[in-house]
């Protein structure tokens, strides 16, 4: 915490949700926060230093808030920040198309008596709608500089920077104290805002029918809305695999090259334990995860299109009726869909849900979403063990089971995580992201994913290497190794569901990351990925295979998902439940399936 | 009548909002106040959520909350 008398300059970004604050913040500081055309994306305070007119200024991006006097968590956070931290300037970001309802917030903030600059963002959309601003008039009546910008297109940045520089240097060394901030009654502010808007903004008589309205007439159709959504999702996943898999092959080639061309020759003289540690622990384990990076990157870029487009709010609208029966709302379904790619960003996305219990319930069911890592295992096993014409039906059955388990879990737990949060969600217009923002966002998400997961994955991989290799003189994963002994103890649990000891060792791999299951099986059976299919079909019948796939599908989220659940819920108890519950459900479902099938088939 | 009874494409004026304080605040921030014009843009079934337009702002809410907004 700095001294109150410190001459340091700090600019705080404030505004309502979904006004493009974070995009503008990124433009001015070069620091990217996750942005989406979905209200409430900024949850953490993000700060960055930048140079304005030759002096260092700290910029802080505050979460969106509807009113300075509101009672939401975001509002409290912003108020707390403004009360505790010295701020030399407030940059108020408004959605220019909604200036009539956003201006009261400016007047509330004005009462704090801190220097302010107003940026009318999304000026491009406003001019498209025929809304015209007299910025000079607005500046005079508001008593603060006002300018139009488009953060997305980078328009008006020079003028805004000039205004900020001027406003900040005019306040040399001054730090305002806001402890005596008065709450002026809001009705008076409303009337004042109306007067200011009438004087400085020219609204067209009636807003023209927009492209958004025309698209919505199709996408929100009573009967076709949901089928269209399913079709769009199907196309999205086709595209993820169509673009991602070739890139993944390239990554595999790189990792193999690193192993065979660089590391193996250098480790010829090293001790066998070190050799095995680097090659079978580091490279096989971490390398397998790395080969998934391209798919994750492609998925995040495509998901960024969906998020930026504003379509997710429509999906929430279409599904809300069904989700309300599960104690959730449409937003939870949106997260379930995001989870099909990777559970981790979906878990973080639950931040838009205000009620803690509803948020926890949503986080409890997201891991049942069949993520791309599990899909890989399932696709591989389906191809190896079932006739070709059965494969689509097998895949479909697993998707259905994954959704059924998620919804049943919500039904069971909704009493424990009861919430009566009203659904009140702003409906943004459709927007098309710029190419630049797409790649920045895809890259940002991927880096964030890596930073969050890498420590966990590295540690887990090395731990499993140790389990399967110690004592070092035994063959890897044989009965005498730590993993072999553990599998022996686990046998009473796994035998009733048709999974033999050696397969249960692979499930240990899967706890770290489902991506490792295939590699784990390859190590266990001593077969390369190309021969693994034959080995599996010789050892398993279809009933065992199904039981194994059900178990893989449902049991425990991967370590990075567990880490995210722990971080987001800030509760070890909840993280434990999020591991134990799916484990129990997976075992029960596999048991019922396996025993019934065996009984029927004799 | 109340907002949940309004058919799509119809317009109405808010007469009274009978909802918990916090919800009233959030509605006010979205531009829903006594005297303002509202219209329902889309609606999913009879018990599904409504897409409501207030000025240039669209939002969705459920019929049980819409029932707390009296209109004419």
Most B CBs within 10 Å, among A424, A425, A428, A430, to test the B interface: A424
ipTM for this prediction: 0.94
How far off is chain A from B59, nearest CA to CA, in Å? 4
User: Mind listing the pLDDT tens digit for each residue in A395-417?
Assistant: 878 888 999 999 999 999 999 99
Cβ-defined contact of A425 to B60 (cutoff 8 Å):
yes
CA dihedral angle for residue A487, residue A488, residue A494, residue A498, rounded to 10 degrees: 100
DSSP for A286-306 reads IHHHHTTHHHHHHHHHHHHHH
Which residues in chain A are contacts of B29 at CB distance < 8 A? 16, 66-67, 70, 101, 105
* The pTM of the whole model exceeds 0.90: no
- To the nearest whole Å, the CA of A226 is away from the closest chain B CA by 11
Q: What is the pLDDT of residues A242-266, one digit of tens each?
A: 887 788 788 878 888 888 888 888 8
Residue A176's pLDDT is: 53
Other CB atoms within a 10 A radius of the CB of residue A379 amount to 15
The answer to whether B65 contacts A423, with C-beta atoms less than 8 Å apart, is: yes
Buried b (16+ CB within 10 A) or exposed e, A470-485: eeeeeebbeeebbbbe
Nearest-by-Cβ selection for B59 from A186, A330, A426: A426
- The rounded distance, in Å, linking the Cα atoms of A555 and A575 is 14
For residues A584 and A290, give the distance between their C-alpha atoms in angstroms, rounded to a whole number: 30
Q: Which residue has the tokens 């997976």?
A: A586
Question: How far, in whole angstroms, is CA A55 from its chain's centroid?
Answer: 35
Torsion angle (degrees, nearest 10) of CA A452, A453, A456, A461 = -160
Distance in angstroms between the alpha carbons of the first and the last residue of chain A: 72
Kindly indicate the confidence band of residue A2, based on its pLDDT and cuts at 50, 70 and 90: very low
Chain A with chain B: Cβ pairs closer than 8 A: 98
Angle, helix A572-601 to helix A391-413, in steps of 10 degrees: 130
Contact A407, A266 (CB under 8 A): no
- Cα dihedral value A426, A427, A432, A436, nearest 10: 20
Sign, CA torsion A238/A303/A553/A249: positive
Cβ-count burial A282-316 (b if 16+ within 10 Å, e if not): bbbbbbbbbbbbbbbbbbbbbbbbbbbbbbbbbbb
How far lies A362's CA from each of A74, A105, A135, A329, A413, in Å? Answer: 20, 32, 44, 9, 10
Chain B nearest CA to A97, separation (Å): 7
pLDDT tens digits, A540-581: 888 999 999 999 999 988 888 898 899 889 899 999 999 999
Q: Is the pLDDT of residue A449 over 70?
A: no
**Nearest CA among A15, A11, A203, A12 for reference residue A120:** A15
Distance CA A301, CA A444 (A): 10
pLDDT on residue A525? 66
């Amino acid at each position: 915490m700095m001294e109150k008398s410190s001459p340091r300059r700090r600019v705080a970004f404030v505004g309502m949700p979904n006004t493009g604050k974070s995009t503008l913040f990124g433009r001015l500081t070069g620091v990217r926060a996750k942005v989406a055309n979905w209200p409430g994306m900024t949850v953490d305070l993000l700060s960055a230093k930048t140079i304005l007119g030759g002096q260092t200024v700290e910029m802080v991006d505050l979460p969106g808030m509807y009113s300075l006097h509101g009672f939401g968590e975001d509002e409290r956070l912003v108020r707390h920040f403004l009360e505790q931290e010295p701020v030399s300037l407030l940059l108020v970001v408004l959605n220019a198309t909604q200036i009539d309802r956003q201006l009261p917030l400016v007047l509330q903030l004005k009462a704090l008596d801190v220097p302010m600059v107003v940026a009318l963002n999304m000026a491009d959309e406003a001019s498209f709608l025929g809304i015209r601003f007299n910025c000079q008039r607005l500046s005079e009546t508001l008593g603060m500089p006002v300018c139009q910008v488009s953060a997305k297109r980078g328009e008006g940045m020079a003028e805004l920077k000039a205004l900020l520089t001027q406003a900040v240097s005019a306040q040399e060394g001054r730090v305002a104290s806001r402890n005596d901030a008065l709450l002026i009654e809001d009705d008076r502010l409303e009337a004042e805002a109306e007067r200011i808007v009438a004087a400085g903004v020219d609204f067209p008589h009636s807003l023209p029918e927009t492209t958004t309205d025309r698209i919505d007439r199709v996408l929100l159709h009573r009967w076709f809305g949901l089928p269209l959504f399913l079709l769009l999702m199907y196309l999205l996943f086709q595209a993820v695999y169509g673009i991602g898999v070739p890139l993944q092959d390239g990554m595999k080639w790189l990792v193999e090259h690193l192993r065979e061309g660089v590391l193996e020759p250098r480790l010829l003289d090293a001790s066998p334990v070190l050799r095995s540690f680097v090659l079978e622990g580091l490279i096989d384990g971490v390398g397998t995860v790395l080969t998934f990076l391209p798919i994750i990157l492609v998925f995040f870029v495509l998901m960024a299109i969906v998020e930026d487009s504003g379509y997710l709010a429509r999906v929430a609208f279409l599904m809300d009726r069904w989700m309300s029966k599960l104690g959730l709302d449409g937003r939870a379904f949106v997260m379930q869909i995001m989870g099909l790619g990777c559970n981790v960003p979906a878990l973080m996305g639950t931040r838009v849900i205000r009620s803690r219990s509803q948020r926890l319930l949503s986080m409890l069911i997201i891991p049942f979403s069949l993520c791309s890592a599990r899909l890989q295992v399932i696709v591989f096993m389906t191809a190896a063990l079932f006739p070709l014409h059965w494969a689509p039906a097998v895949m479909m059955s697993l998707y259905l089971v994954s959704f059924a388990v998620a919804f049943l879990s919500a039904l069971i737990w909704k009493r424990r995580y009861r919430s009566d949060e009203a659904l009140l969600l702003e409906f943004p217009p459709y927007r098309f992201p710029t190419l630049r923002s797409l790649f920045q966002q895809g890259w940002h998400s991927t880096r964030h994913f890596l930073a969050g997961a890498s420590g966990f994955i590295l540690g887990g991989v090395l731990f499993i290497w140790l389990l399967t290799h110690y004592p070092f003189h035994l063959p890897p994963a044989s009965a005498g190794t730590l993993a072999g002994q553990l599998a022996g103890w686990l046998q009473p649990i796994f035998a009733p569901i048709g999974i033999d000891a050696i397969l249960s060792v692979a499930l240990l791999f899967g706890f770290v990351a489902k991506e490792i299951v295939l590699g784990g099986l390859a190590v266990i059976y001593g077969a390369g990925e190309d021969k693994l299919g034959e080995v599996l079909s010789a050892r398993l019948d279809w009933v065992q295979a199904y039981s194994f796939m059900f178990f893989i599908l449902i049991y425990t989220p991967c370590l990075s998902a567990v880490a995210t659940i722990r971080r987001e819920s800030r509760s070890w108890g909840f993280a434990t439940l999020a591991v134990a519950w799916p484990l129990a459900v997976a075992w029960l479902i596999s048991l019922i399936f396996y025993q019934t099938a065996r009984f029927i088939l004799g | 009548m109340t907002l949940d009874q309004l058919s799509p494409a119809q317009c109405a004026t808010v007469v009274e909002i009978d909802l918990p304080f916090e919800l009233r605040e959030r509605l006010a921030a979205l531009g829903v106040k006594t005297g303002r014009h509202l219209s329902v843009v889309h609606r999913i079934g009879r018990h599904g959520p409504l897409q409501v337009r207030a000025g240039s702002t669209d939002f969705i809410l459920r019929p049980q909350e819409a029932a707390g907004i009296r209109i004419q």
